[in-house]
């Protein structure tokens, strides 16, 4: 079996996109009924995403869901921005992920680490231009082992590890 490491944003195959940057990105799955972002990457990729939506003619209004793979700061960065920009987006995560993301100490740490990495990457201005911080206004749906997310012609089966 041949492995593939995606180096740059773009279409992976029909209905699957890699967006963001080489070092941190997200996947966008497109179905007939809408799209879903897999993972949340680092917060500083928001300007890249906005440019890529335009460049690749991706209608961000079709994004119906975001799937949190786990609650580490480098996997939830774009979620506050997108959820506030499109409040109708349903954010899906495990019970444990939501427990962590509801803890003030955890979100303060996520915000601090995210800002530090943005600064290290020379992207601290992103925080002046966009609302990226985790606060208590983000909530969503708890998903479990065996749940299925149907996008219309594309279905995601949840495995909890």
**DSSP class per residue in 62-121:** GEEEEE-S---GGGSTTHHHHHHHSTTPEEEE-HHHHHHHT-HHHHHHHHHHHHHHHHHT
On whether residue 4 sits in a domain, the answer given is no
Q: How many CA atoms lie within 13 A of 98 on its CB side?
A: 14
Range of the domain at 135: 10-157
| pLDDT single digits (tens) 81-91 | 999 999 999 99
Report the predicted TM-score, pTM, of the whole model to 2 decimal places: 0.93
Query: For position 39, what pLDDT does the model report?
Result: 96
Do 157 and 142 contact (CB within 8 A), yes or no? no
Q: Cβ of 118: how many Cβ atoms within 10 Å?
A: 21
Whether 128 is in a domain gets the answer yes
Torsion angle of C-alpha atoms 54, 26, 24, 139, degrees rounded to 10: 110
* Residue 48 within a domain: yes
Averaged pLDDT for residues 150-160: 95
pLDDT of residue 82: 98
| Residue 67 belongs to a domain | yes
Please report whether residue 89 resides in a domain.
yes
Burial class for 43, CB neighbours closer than 10 Å (0-12, 13-18, 19+)? buried
Q: How confident is the model at residue 160 (pLDDT cuts 50, 70, 90)?
A: confident
Number of H helices, E strands in the chain: 5, 9
Domain count, the chain: 1
Asked, for residue 2, whether it belongs to a domain, the answer is: no
Which CATH number characterizes residue 41's domain? 3.60.15.10
Q: What are 77's two structure tokens?
A: 């960065």
In a domain, 3, yes or no: no
In a domain, 1, yes or no: no
């Amino acid at each position: 079996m041949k492995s593939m490491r995606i180096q740059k944003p773009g279409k992976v195959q029909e209905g699957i996109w890699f967006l963001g940057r080489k070092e941190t990105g997200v996947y966008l799955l497109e179905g007939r009924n809408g799209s879903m972002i897999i993972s949340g990457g680092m917060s500083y990729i928001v300007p890249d995403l906005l440019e890529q939506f335009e460049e690749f003619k991706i209608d961000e209004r079709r994004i119906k869901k975001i799937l949190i793979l786990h609650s580490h700061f480098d996997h939830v960065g774009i979620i506050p921005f997108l959820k506030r920009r499109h409040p109708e987006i349903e954010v899906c995560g495990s019970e444990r992920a939501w427990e962590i993301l509801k803890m003030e100490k955890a979100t303060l740490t996520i915000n601090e680490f995210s800002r530090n990495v943005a600064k290290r990457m020379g992207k601290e201005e992103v925080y002046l231009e966009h609302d990226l911080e985790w606060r208590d206004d983000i909530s969503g749906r708890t998903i479990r082992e065996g749940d299925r997310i149907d996008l219309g012609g594309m279905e995601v089966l949840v495995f909890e590890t």
